[in-house]
Amino acid sequence: MTAWSCVLFDLDGTITDSAAGITATLAHTLEVMQRPVPSPAELLAFVGPPILDGFAALGLDPAQSREALAIYRERYHERGAFDSSVYPGIEEAMRAIAATGVPLALATSKPETQARRILDHFGLDDLFTFIGGASDDEARSEKADVVSYVLDNLIALEVDVSNPVMIGDREHDVHGAAANGIPTIFVEWGYGSDIEKVGSIAVADTPSDLPVFISRGTPEPPVANAAI
C-alpha cells in the first residue's frame, strides 16, 4: 500500500450541505431575470458544478450568464452562503486525517473568496494547508483547472504531492481530479447519483470511512460499474 501524500477535499456536498442556500439563490436569480424556475429537486443538479455551466444548461447565453452571475453573487453573499450546515461527522473525520500528518487542501468550484469565508464561519479553515477555488471572474472554475491550481500552490508550500487523492461527491470531482492524474474517493452523503461514482477508487458511506481509507493508502481498483 502507498500512503497518500495529501488529500484534496471538495466543499459543497462533501463538507457542507449547502443545497438550500444555493438552490434558493438560483431560483431568485432566475426570477429576477424573468426566466423559468426549475423545481427544487431539479435545481439540485446545479449544486457543485461551476455556476456558469449551470446557467448555460438553463439556456442562458454568455451575456445573460454574466448578468445572472452578478445577481447570484450579490444574493448569495448576503443570504445564501451561510444557509448551509457541516455534515455530521465530517469535521471529526478531517481532523482525524490531519492528526496523522497528512496535509489537507480544499479544491472547490465555488469562488475561493467565498469558500474561505464559509470555512472561517464554520471554524474549519485551520484544517487546510491551502484553500483553493474558482477565481472571482470565473476564468478558473472548471474542476480540472481548480485542482491544477491547488496542486501548484501546494508545491509552492513544499507539500508532497507525489500521491494525492481527491474526496468529492460529483462526477466533476472524479473527472477533474483524473485530468490531473489524481484518483477520487466518492462520498455517498452528497448530491451525486450512482452513475457519477464511475471512475472513483472507493466509495465512503459515512464520514467515518474517510480516515480508514486514507490510512490504508491506495485502495482497490476503480469503481468501473455503477448502477445506471
| Positions marked catalytic | 10
Here the cell at position 87 is: 455534515
Residues 6+ apart with CB under 8 A from 205: 188
With contact defined as beta carbons under 8 Å apart, do 200 and 226 qualify? no
Which one-letter amino acid corresponds to residue 156? A
